[in-house]
Each structure stands twice: as structure tokens, then as C-alpha cells.
Structure 1
Amino acid sequence: MKTLIVDDEPLARNELNYLLTQNGQFEKIEEAETISETLEKMLYDTYDVIFLDINLMNESGLDLAEKIKKMQQPPHIIFATAHDNFAVRAFELNATDYILKPFEQARIDAAVARVASQIQPKSTEQTETLQQQDNPPEIQTNKAPSVLPIEVDERIYVLNQKDIIALSVEAGKTTLHTTEQDFVTSEPMNNFAKRLDSHQFIRIHRATIINKAHIQTIEHWFNYTYQVTLTHQLKVQVSRSYMKSFKQAIGLD
């Protein structure tokens, strides 16, 4: 893999360069300290991943990420910063990971492993894309990131969307039910809904969104509706106003 470290602090670049060298998965490690220098390097070379600080002198790494996101084949972005209050915005920009200074080898290795796992299937995906060019699939996946960051009690958790069973609202609080635990936050459910994979998650009630992959059973319920049992025996009801879209989404219509 090839990587570019973007940070205006020489000591931080040196530290990260050393840890990436120790990781052993990079054939090329380059550095830049400004947005203009970064963009110039990207004109003449391609990178698998960019380690990006957020504060770059009088510039913002978030602005650079916006520009990179618009590229036809953008590199993975891992934010490497001393600030923990930009994580939600970072993941909205499709960041692969978000690591905090001071860096630790184990944390760097985990971030690199995440990138490597997403890069390896590329050759297969490119072959499938070529095969499907004449017959594009009826349903194409959206660009939603595979992770969803949430803030609970001043701590940010990064959840894999596939592990989210359902989202529900009660008394003004949003609960994210996952395979590991439940997370309760004051952030409105609609804020999360915009970032969920629209082909995987379906709304069954104005206060409930579920992950189709976690549906276990469906039973007839009152007033010609359904009760759905999800992973961990979580039971939810489909409201009448969402019955048609629910049946279409799971192939019952």
C-alpha cells in the first residue's frame, strides 16, 4: 500500500511515519504539511490511504477531505488528530477511521488493518463491475458509510451498521439496539436515518427503524398489521401507514 501523511507538525509526521514503517504494510510513505502540497502530490501519484490532521496551520483537514471525497477513486481517509470533537463530521465525510494523538502502535495497526480489508476485494469488485456494465443491476447500493458514529455521555462510539438491529424513539430519546448493547442518545433518530444504508434499513413506524438482516419472524398483529421479532428477541410493531412499504422492502408484496 501507499500512504500520505498530512500534518503541519514535523514531530507528529515523524512519529506517524515511524509507526507506519513498523507496521510493515506500506511500500511508500510520503508526507505533506498543507492542502496545496497534498493536492499537488495527488496530481502525480495515487495513494491507498491518507492520514489527515484536522488543524493544518490556517487550513482545515475537513475541507481537504471534502475535496478528496469528490474524486472519482478517492483514497481512504484516516483522520489523525488531537481533537476528538470532529469525529461525527469526519465519518459523515466517509472517513475509514479516526485516531487520536498521541498515537499508539496497536491503534495504528488496527486502522491499517481496516483499510487493508477494504482494499483487498477491489480486484474482484472491478471484475464484477466490468461484467455488469452492459446489464446494470436494478438495485445499486448507496454511498452510505459502513459505520455510524454516535455520541453518548461525551464519548463517541463508532458502530458497524450491520451490527445495528433497530433504532427507536421514546420520551425524546433515541435508542440504538445493537448486537452488543443498547445506546441511548438525545440526538434525533432522523439524523441517523440520513446516514443509514437505505437498502438495509427500513422505517416501520414513525418512531422505529429496523435492519432487515436482523428480522427473525413476522406475525400477524392487531388491525391487520405485523409484529416483527428481531435479533435478541426484540419485538417491534409495523404501523398501518408503513405496511405497504414494509411488505415491498422484504418481498411480501
Structure 2
Amino acid sequence: MTERQVPIRAMVVDDETPGRLNLRYALAGFPEWQLLAECSSAEQARAQWAVSPCDVAFLDIQMPGESGLKLARELSALAHPPVIVFVTAYERYAVEAFEAHALDYLLKPFDDERLAQTLARASSMLALRQGSYAEVLRRSLEAIETPASSYLDRITVRSVGAIESVDLGDIHFLSASGNYVSLHLEHRIVLHRATLSHMATLLDPRTFIRVHRSYLVRRQQMQQLRVTGDGTYALTLRNGSQVAVSSRYVDAVRAVLTLS
């Protein structure tokens, strides 16, 4: 991959003056970034884009008239949309939804370290705009606005310089790794930025079952349960893996094995 030429051109869209000023002053500390425009509405941002498209758009979500999500949907329809970073004061549960779909965000108020992380991610994603980013952005925006009663059928995973859509049908089990989850596929493991507890709310319980605070397992992968100690259990999967089962979930695991 060739190294990107600077500057990275940015646009800030926020109906509140303090929000625009905060990002202006914060971005001034990063010489490779150029702030092209500060817009107070989606309409103003649309006009600015027609004159001078940007590389990265920082969009406030809650704005009078058109929301940042609505503007993002419009930008996602472009052949080469900007990398989208949502700037939000949303509650944490809503922010986790962004993480599950690899949409980056800044949670107000943010500090210099968090901004630097976001800028680094945005910079690494610019190379994807010519290929997969537009499609991934469209899918992610559709998913983020799907009613809560619907479950994921794929997970969008972002890493440095790459973005991947993982089909739920390819995942054997998920394990907790701090603020990340490991997606265990047939021949590899993919690290995804989300908590296991949040992923449990996004996956169909008819397909995945919680067997431990650290594991979610595909029901079809469950093969054998055995006792490993006083109140401890291990579940053998059809792919040969073994995961711990806690006493809290052992009855549910036995029920699945009995019916399978």
C-alpha cells in the first residue's frame, strides 16, 4: 500500500458552536490534517461538499432538521464517500452499536488521546475508499438503524488498513478478550472491538447460546459436556475446541444437547 499524501482534508458538521470550535482547536494539533469547513447543518455540509469534497467527515448525530445519521446515509450513496466519524453525546449503549458495525465515533467530551486514536483509524481507512469502504458503510448504516428485535447476520470487523465482513454462519464460537471479542472461525481467529455481553444482545439466541461469562457458542457446534471438577464443566465442540461452562448455564447446555 502506498503511503498517503498529506494533508487529510476534514469537514466538521455540528449545529452547536462549541462542538465545532472544540474540533477545530483539537485538529490544529495535528499538522497532517486540514480543516476545510465547519458546517452548522446538513444542508450547509451538502453545499460545502459540492464545492470541495473532503476525506473525512465528523458528523454530530443529533441536529435539528436532518440528523448526522441521515447525512451519513446520503454520503454513503456516493461512489467514494468520505470516511465517517460520528461525534456524539449518546449513551454508552448506543455507542456500542457503532462499535459492533465498525463505525468510528468520538464520545463527547473527548480527550487528546481518544482523538488521536480516532484520527489514526480514519487515516488507515482512507485507502479503503476506492474499494470496500463504500459498501461496508452502507451496510453498517442500515444495520445501526435496524429495529432492536432484529439480529445480526454478519459482523463488520475493522483493523489497521483493512475492513472485513464476517458472516455469522462462519463463526463457531466467540470468546471475551477484555473490551474485544475473538471470533473463532474454521481456520483463524478474528479480533472484533465489542464486549461479549453486547454481542450477546445482537446475536439470535436460537443460533448462539451463552455457556460462560467468557463464551458464546453456536448451538450446532455443541457436542459433549463433561464434568471437570466441583461445579466446573467443559464443552467439547464439533471442531475439536473446548470451552468452559459455568454452573449458571449448565442446565441450558444440557437441554440443547438433549434435544440435538
Q: In the TM superposition, what whole-angstrom CA distance separates every residue of 1:119-162 from its partner, at most 9, and x where no partner exists?
A: 25778x79xxxxxxxxxxxxxxxx963259xxxxxxxx974xxx
Aligned equivalents of 2:75, 2:179: Cα separation in 1: 22
Aligned equivalents of 1:184, 1:57: Cα separation in 2: 33
Aligned equivalents of 1:119, 1:108: Cα separation in 2: 17
Alpha carbons of 1:65 and 1:94: their partners in 2 closer, same or farther (altered >3 Å)?
farther
Aligned equivalents of 1:8, 1:180: Cα separation in 2: 29
Aligned equivalents of 1:144, 1:178: Cα separation in 2: 11
1:38 is matched with: 45
Do the aligned partners of 2:9 and 2:54 also contact (CA within 8 Å) in 1? yes
The TM-score, its normalising length taken from structure 2, stands at: 0.53
Q: Which moved more, 1:66-75 or 1:80-89?
A: 80-89
Q: How does 1:102-181 map to 2 (within 5 A)?
A: 102-120=109-127, 145-147=156-158, 159=180, 164-166=182-184
Amino acid corresponding to residue 32 of structure 2 in structure 1: Q
Unmatched 5+ stretches in structure 1: 127-142, 149-156, 168-176, 194-202, 209-221, 236-253
Do the aligned partners of 1:16 and 1:103 also contact (CA within 8 Å) in 2? no
Using the TM superposition, give the Cα deviation of residue 89 of structure 1 relative to its aligned residue in structure 2, in angstroms. Answer: 5.0
Aligned equivalents of 2:63, 2:192: Cα separation in 1: 38
Find 1:86's aligned residue among 73, 84, 94.
94
2:257 is matched with: none
Find 1:187's aligned residue among 192, 201, 209.
201
Using the TM superposition, give the Cα deviation of residue 205 of structure 1 relative to its aligned residue in structure 2, in angstroms. Answer: 4.3
Alpha carbons of 1:77 and 1:158: their partners in 2 closer, same or farther (altered >3 Å)?
farther
Using the TM superposition, give the Cα deviation of residue 4 of structure 1 relative to its aligned residue in structure 2, in angstroms. Answer: 0.4
Query: Percent sequence identity over matched residues?
Result: 23
Aligned equivalents of 2:192, 2:77: Cα separation in 1: 33
Amino acid corresponding to residue 164 of structure 1 in structure 2: S
Using the TM superposition, give the Cα deviation of residue 28 of structure 1 relative to its aligned residue in structure 2, in angstroms. Answer: 3.6
Partner-residue secondary structure (3-state), 1:55: coil
Find 1:75's aligned residue among 82, 86, 103.
82
Alpha carbons of 1:23 and 1:111: their partners in 2 closer, same or farther (altered >3 Å)?
same
Alpha carbons of 1:4 and 1:181: their partners in 2 closer, same or farther (altered >3 Å)?
closer
Using the TM superposition, give the Cα deviation of residue 90 of structure 1 relative to its aligned residue in structure 2, in angstroms. Answer: 3.9
Aligned equivalents of 2:194, 2:156: Cα separation in 1: 21
Aligned equivalents of 1:3, 1:35: Cα separation in 2: 15
Aligned equivalents of 1:180, 1:146: Cα separation in 2: 8
1:8 partnered with 2:26: no
Alpha carbons of 1:114 and 1:158: their partners in 2 closer, same or farther (altered >3 Å)?
farther
Unmatched 5+ stretches in structure 2: 1-7, 133-153, 159-164, 166-177, 208-216, 223-235, 245-260
RMSD of aligned alpha carbons: 4.3
Do the aligned partners of 1:80 and 1:101 also contact (CA within 8 Å) in 2? yes
Runs of 4+ in structure 1 deviating by more than 3 angstroms, as ranges, are 88-94, 120-123, 177-182, 203-208
The TM-score, its normalising length taken from structure 1, stands at: 0.54
Using the TM superposition, give the Cα deviation of residue 29 of structure 1 relative to its aligned residue in structure 2, in angstroms. Answer: 3.4
Aligned equivalents of 2:12, 2:192: Cα separation in 1: 35
Using the TM superposition, give the Cα deviation of residue 16 of structure 1 relative to its aligned residue in structure 2, in angstroms. Answer: 0.7
Amino acid corresponding to residue 121 of structure 2 in structure 1: R
Amino acid corresponding to residue 13 of structure 1 in structure 2: R
Do the aligned partners of 1:3 and 1:49 also contact (CA within 8 Å) in 2? yes
Amino acid corresponding to residue 201 of structure 2 in structure 1: E
Alpha carbons of 1:207 and 1:75: their partners in 2 closer, same or farther (altered >3 Å)?
farther
Aligned equivalents of 2:83, 2:98: Cα separation in 1: 12
Do the aligned partners of 2:89 and 2:107 also contact (CA within 8 Å) in 1? yes
